[in-house]
Chains A and B, each alone.
Chain A
Amino acid sequence: MKRYEIIDGPIDTGEVIKKVVCNEAGAITTFIGTVREWTKGKRTLYLEYQAYISMAEKKLKQIGDEVESRWPGVKVAITHRIGRLEISDIAVVIAVSSPHRKVAYEANQFIIERIKEIVPIWKKEHWENGELWIGDQLEITPLVVEGEEKR
């Protein structure tokens, strides 16, 4: 059973949740990321996701390990889909189990933010009048700018 997976077909949410079920858990939170039709007045027709699969699975595991050491007792499973996704399709499912609910929510939110930082997965938007690879959702790309010092 792989707890950190990149797959190119539909994600079975129930299967992801099953991976974190355990006797110690008193709560399971699930985040489901879906394909949105409208973004800032622009209509998306479909999305295309691409990944550096082997590294992406490693980075998902790294995030899971980070979470499980920061919040002891937590168990994590993440599946991300790649390929062509239609509106409302599920792109990512994150399941977190924990003895108590507060941590299950916190850890789950932490994971989606980390995915957007370090996991090599890319999304291409296809619109009626064009297409574009989307990047830098957090606007934190380390760019070395040789700027002049202002006085």
Chain B
Amino acid sequence: MKVKENLMKYIFLLCACISILAVVIICLFIFVNGVPAIGEVGIVKFIFGTHWKPSSNEFGIFPMIVASIYVTAGAIIIGVPIGLLTAIYLAMYCPVKVYKIVKPLINLLASVPSVVYGFFCLVVVVPVIQNLTHTSGKGILTTSILLGIMILPTIISTAESSIRAVPSMYYEGALALGATKERSIMKTVVPAAKSGIMSGVILSVGRAIGETMAVVMVAGNQAIMPNSITSGVRTLTSNIVMEMGYATGMHRDALIGTAVVLFVFILLINICFSLVVRKKEK
């Protein structure tokens, strides 16, 4: 019995080590390959340069950084209100029968492959935006809508579970004081669930900034500074995926440098996430 237990302990440890090893190797790979490239271009020129022309050795990724931030912000603006209100409905208003249909559908939304989202958006959303705005239809707006839909499941499930975790006495107390149902929810339950909702938002920022395949199809991918909400943009991730297959030499290193910047972004997001979670535990 003892032997078996010990054996299992080491197997668990081994499994844990594999994932840690993976993270460490990925970090090493990205930084060892990417940082020298950034150094060669010059860190200021690399991050704040506005021209990306690999064929003439110009590697400035500022347009991509701006693009990534814009589309992520757009996704949050579109996705968070819809997701939060859906979560409130699911947790507080929804009859069991409807819940049994809606909840699995939302889970299904989470498991749709991102390429499918991208193609759907390319064929359905792009023409609509094209007709409404008389532009090419690909750009910040379309990408934001796409990402807004893609982050819905994350927001809905985290917000719903944190609303459900609020002790029912908060809600009942508010009702007892004479507040309406809607008011009790918005003024007591939702504020009490705030940190859980925040962590959901941060998780979805991570998802939106890292999304690649779907974004490549609808963002337009011009490596220029966007000047309107409908202008085409290229995000950090799409820059990497579009050119990695062909790139050689300095071009390739600059793409890994782009990955370094993306990685730093993701790290910052994760740090924010753990700060919020820690605050919640206190």
A, B: real partners: no
